[in-house]
Amino acid sequence: MAQRKLRGGMVGGGTGAFIGPVHRMAATLDAEAEFVAGAFSRDPVKSKKSGEELGLDSSRVYASYQEMAEKEAKLPADKRIDFVSIVVPNNGHFAVAKNFLESGFNVICDKPMTTTLADAKTLQKLAAKSGKVFVLTHNYTGYPMVKQARHMVKSGMLGKINKVVCEYPQGWMSGLITNPGSSLSMWRMDPKISGGSGCMGDLGTHGENLIRYITGLEIDEVCADLTTFVKGNGLEDDGNLLLHFKGGARGILYASQISAGEENPLSIRVYGTKMGLEWKQEDPNYLIVKDPAGTQTRWSKGNTNLCKEALAAGRLIWGHPDGYIEAFANIYREAYRAIRAELAGKKIPVCDYPTTEDGVIGVAFINALLASSKSKSKWTKMKV
């Protein structure tokens, strides 16, 4: 029998935002859910307008997230939202997520989870205690071939992992370096909004999460070199890290917003004793396996030679490219599996989405690299 559509609410993501529409497309791609409520902006007028444009019932468009949590909680079970998607800037994640968890809602939250480690741990505990679902949208782990990479590492195909190189350069700020007149009203670069890190919080944490998702390796210590090239940026716009993983593997992770002409080429290379592999976000439907015997083999999405997680995560067969939205939708699809269980009063199954644990580790990672940077690149332990 058909499952009913889940009812979602959104905090943030009003007109003009980048990530709000992404969440909406991803959340509804499979027709498993629809958004019925929202507090789309701190400005009640803007929130109303966004809700209207989205065709929501005006009674479900709220002036603030607090009002939304309070009023939705009072609605009957067959009317109120089943989950909330939080897409406000970083410094708002904690308060909004806390409020909704405490009001009894499942939460899907943009990354990074919080701006301080204490907040992250508070949320982690709160989520655990509440019995609600908490999903962190490190969306890049939603790509089918990322799942295949993880499978290959787990299966031992690569041997013991010794080296990881993860890159995430962007170039959109490069022109601002020599153009100081530009108005930099970018929240990403405002420490009050974004937290203590700029490109590392925005991009580097995706890299950290991707490394951990694929390899299972835990960072032991980091050595960080952060630089602010754009005058007026309150945070670093380029960061280069050396990594020591527990067990002896070594790594490089870098992120940048001043790498002129780069778009969004997040990539990862993993080298084991037997094989290497490489995945590139801008060419996401392929995974390259490198064999010292002299071949490089491209595996591709949608084929039956993939592991079941990778095959299931492909929405279309071979040769029909899945994109960023489909990968993002895979996070939501797994979230829905968990949410439906929660709503049914069942034990939440083990699902394939980033959790509060990922959130805590992500914030600890930022803390470690900031501490290393302040101590002139001293090796600094990850403290979770």
Stretch that binds a copy of itself, among 66-74, 119-127, 241-249, 356-364 (CB under 8 A): 241-249
* Contacts with 262 (C-beta within 8 Å, 6 or more apart), sequence order: 169, 170, 171, 256
The verdict on 52 binding a copy of itself (CB under 8 A) reads yes
294 counts as binding a copy of itself under rule CB under 8 A: yes
Region 195-234 residues binding a copy of itself, contact defined as CB under 8 A = 223, 225, 227, 229
Smallest separation, CB 140 to a copy of itself (Å)? 11
76 near a copy of itself (CB under 8 A): no
Using CB under 8 A as the binding criterion, the count of chain residues that bind a copy of itself stands at 100
Residue 63 neighbours by CB under 8 Å, 6+ apart: 39, 44, 47, 48
The smaller minimum CB distance to a copy of itself, of residues 192 and 378, is found at: 378
Question: Residue 269 interacts with a copy of itself (CB under 8 A)?
Answer: yes
Q: Is the Cβ of residue 56 or residue 107 nearer to a copy of itself in the bound state?
A: 56
- Single out the residue of 305, 345, 347, 383 in contact with a copy of itself (rule: CB under 8 A): 305
Q: Terminal CA-to-CA distance of the chain, rounded, Å?
A: 44
- Count other C-beta atoms under 10 Å from residue 350's C-beta: 8
Are 162 and 271 in contact by the 8 Å Cβ rule? The answer is yes
Report, in Å, the least distance between residue 179 CB and a copy of itself. Answer: 9
Binding string, 306-345, against a copy of itself, x = CB under 8 A? x--------xxxxxxxxxxxx-------------------
Check binding of 272 to a copy of itself (CB under 8 A): yes
Interacting residue with a copy of itself among 15, 28, 182, 267 (CB under 8 A): 28
Polymer length of the chain: 384
CA-angle at 292, arms to 287 and 298, nearest 5°: 20
Span near a copy of itself by CB under 8 A; candidates 101-109, 130-138, 346-354, 374-382: 374-382
CB of 193 to a copy of itself, least distance (A): 20
Q: Is 190 helix (H, G, I), strand (E, B) or coil?
A: coil
Question: Is 287:270 a contact under the CB 8 Å cutoff?
Answer: no
Q: What are the helix (H) ranges across the chain?
A: 19-28, 44-53, 65-74, 93-102, 117-130, 144-155, 191-194, 199, 205-215, 308-313, 324-343, 356-374
